[in-house]
Amino acid sequence: MSFAIWYNRQDLTPIAAEFTRQDLSPADRAYAQSLWNAGLSGWNTAPVETDPFHSGNDPDCRRIVINGKHQGKTLTLADFRAFLYRQSLLPGAEYLDALANDMGGASGAMEPWPVV
């Protein structure tokens, strides 16, 4: 199963920056690498797509699909959000808390993807 997230580059930039932090725990570094390899690496060139949660046409809304495994377990939206919450406790990463909240609400992410 895979999941998709929709965000602008300005929102994706802090997520991508978390993958290169020197203060990541070894477990979070390994998890981040799995996410990166499963689709997040294309954050800067992901296709522009209308966010299915909002009306209007945002010219920089990007869709990123995450499809992969970490230590034999399928990557899930819930695990990704838990990662963002952990990272939001690190200095300078407080913004990730809001993104994780957004992904659990009525916008920002969809699982499963594609919708069946």
Q: What is the pLDDT along the chain (116 residues), one digit of tens a residue?
A: 899 999 888 888 888 888 888 888 999 999 999 999 999 999 888 888 877 877 767 788 889 999 999 999 999 999 999 999 999 999 988 888 998 999 998 788 999 998 87
Phi and psi at residue 72, to the nearest 5°:
80, -5
3-state secondary structure (DSSP) of residue 33: helix
- The CA distance from 80 to 35, in Å, is 8
Domain ranges of the chain: 2-113
Residue 2, pLDDT score? 94
- Name which of 98, 69, 91, 114 is nearest 23 in CA terms: 91
Contact 62, 43 (CB under 8 A): yes
Q: Is the pTM of this model over 0.85?
A: yes
Cα separation, 47 vs 69, in Å, equals: 23
